[in-house]
Amino acid sequence: MTLIEELVNQIPMTEKLLEIKGVGIKTVSGFLAEVGDIGGFNNPKELQKLAGLALVENSSGKHKGKTTISRRERKRPRYLLFEVTMSLVAKKPEFRALHVYYTTRKLNPLKKMQSLMAIAAKLLRAFYAILTKGVDYDPKKMVSDIKRPAVYLQAA
């Protein structure tokens, strides 16, 4: 573990990922091992696709099916993100607030697993922003950038 920790500390901006309470060295090292050089991705959508968290619609012809995550590509980053998301939802108030919002909103409430996968994708986008731009993790931004249309505000 000390060797892994030394190697992870050599990668720039990883200390900012470790500042997120609940994200540990195993998560960061596993994520970086699977993803590789983050500079090879032009946007976070490509990273979501690599992790199998991209949304796809199961439809054919006139049949309009459900929208699910693709589950293609690599399963290890998806598994790592899911595990850390479970921990963060249980322990961190901003992630718990997101989970409650997604599961209890009036229009299009998500099931619990759908909510966890949406939060995992959001965490993946946060990882991308931290690693590429060098910004600090802001818990208020995790909750504040949810787009709440006027319909949601009237219902509250």
Residue with token string 């966890």: 116
Residue 113's pLDDT is: 87
Q: How far is CA 130 from the centre of its chain?
A: 12
Taking only the tens place, the pLDDT of each residue in 115-140 is 888 888 888 888 888 888 878 888 78
Residue range 71-98: average pLDDT? 84
Q: Is the pLDDT of residue 42 over 80?
A: yes
Residue range 9-17: average pLDDT? 74
Residue range 140-156: average pLDDT? 64
> CB–CB of 124/81 below 8 Å?
yes
Residue 50's pLDDT is: 80
Q: Is the pLDDT of residue 6 over 80?
A: no
Q: What is the pTM of this model?
A: 0.78
Ranges of each domain in the chain: 2-55+66-155
